[in-house]
């Protein structure tokens, strides 16, 4: 059985193009969502219903891969989940059908490329951080509380005639930041 799934990101978009393609493909039942692709499959009620409806041997038919998942990792996870349940995926625009040997091969190649890409990004990030540290630069948010501000906070706090509210206002810090400064 062919189960169709279509999705648009906003309510002002319409599903007509996808619906026409899925009907032309001969889908027996079609589910839809009007929600961002960034939402997980558990948040997309139409997708969840389509997956619950499907049985062994069924094929989930989509108009385009990006209608199913936002990242290659999401798509590969989805295909693996379907495969474990002995179900397939067919994307009409990309002509990918995981019920065929060629379709499975394409998805395995996508998975290998995705993993390679993640490893390359991780290596470049580590190398960049190491080079920055070697030059004395450290990542993260810049410190707002300087050593000079800490000394001033301690001096002002030592003068019991000055109200804490005035010190905080003068230093432009929160009450909790002020008390942290006193412990530094």
To the query of whether residue 9 is one of the catalytic residues in this protein, the response is yes
Residue 64 has pLDDT above 70, yes or no: yes
Mean pLDDT throughout 68-79? Answer: 82
Unique residue bearing structure tokens 């060629």 = 102
Residue 156 CB neighbour total at 10 angstroms? 17
C-beta of residue 59 within 8 angstroms of C-beta of residue 90? yes
Q: Tell me, what's the pLDDT at 146?
A: 84
Strand, helix or coil for residue 97: strand
Q: What are phi and psi of 131, to 5 degrees?
A: -65, -40
DSSP 32: E
CATH number assigned to the domain covering 2-99: 3.40.50.1390
pLDDT digits (tens, 9 = 90+) for 79-96: 889 999 999 999 998 888
CB atoms within 10 A of CB 11: 8
pLDDT in the model for residue 54? 96
Q: Give the model's pLDDT for residue 39.
A: 63
Q: Among 10-14, 36-40, 48-52, 103-107, whose mean pLDDT is lowest? A: 36-40
The more confidently predicted of residues 42 and 163 is 163
115 or 151, higher pLDDT: 151
For residues 37-65, give the mean pLDDT: 87
Within 10 A of 158 (CB to CB), how many other CB atoms are there?
9
Cα-Cα-Cα-Cα torsion 157, 160, 162, 168, nearest 10 degrees, comes to 30
pLDDT exceeds 90 at position 181: no
CB 35 within 8 A of CB 41: no
Catalytic residue among 9, 40, 91, 93: 9
Interval 95-121 mean pLDDT: 84
68 versus 46: the higher-pLDDT residue is: 46
Question: What pLDDT score does 41 carry?
Answer: 63
- Is 160 a residue whose pLDDT tops 80? yes
Per domain, the residue ranges of the chain are 2-99, 147-183
Q: Which of 19-23, 38-42, 48-52, 79-83 has the lowest mean pLDDT?
A: 38-42
Q: Using CB atoms within 10 Å of the CB of residue 104, give its burial: 0 to 12 exposed, 13 to 18 middle, 19+ buried.
A: middle
Provide the pLDDT for residue 37: 62
């Amino acid at each position: 059985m062919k189960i169709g799934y279509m999705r648009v990101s906003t309510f002002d978009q319409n599903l007509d193009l996808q619906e026409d393609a899925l009907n032309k493909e001969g889908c027996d039942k079609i589910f839809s969502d009007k929600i961002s692709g960034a939402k997980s499959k558990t948040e997309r009620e139409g997708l969840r219903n389509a997956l619950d409806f499907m049985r062994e041997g069924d094929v989930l038919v989509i108009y385009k891969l990006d209608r199913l998942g936002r990242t290659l990792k999401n798509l590969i996870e989805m295909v693996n989940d379907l495969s474990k349940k002995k179900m397939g995926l067919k994307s009409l625009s990309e002509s990918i059908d995981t019920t065929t040997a060629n379709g499975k091969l394409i998805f395995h190649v996508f998975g290998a490329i995705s993993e390679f890409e993640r490893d390359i990004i991780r290596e470049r990030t580590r190398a960049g951080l190491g080079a920055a540290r070697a030059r004395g630069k450290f990542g993260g948010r810049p410190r707002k509380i300087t050593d000079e501000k800490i000394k001033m906070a301690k001096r002002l706090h030592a003068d019991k005639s000055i109200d804490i509210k005035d010190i905080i206002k003068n230093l432009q810090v929160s009450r909790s930041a002020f008390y942290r400064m006193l412990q530094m």
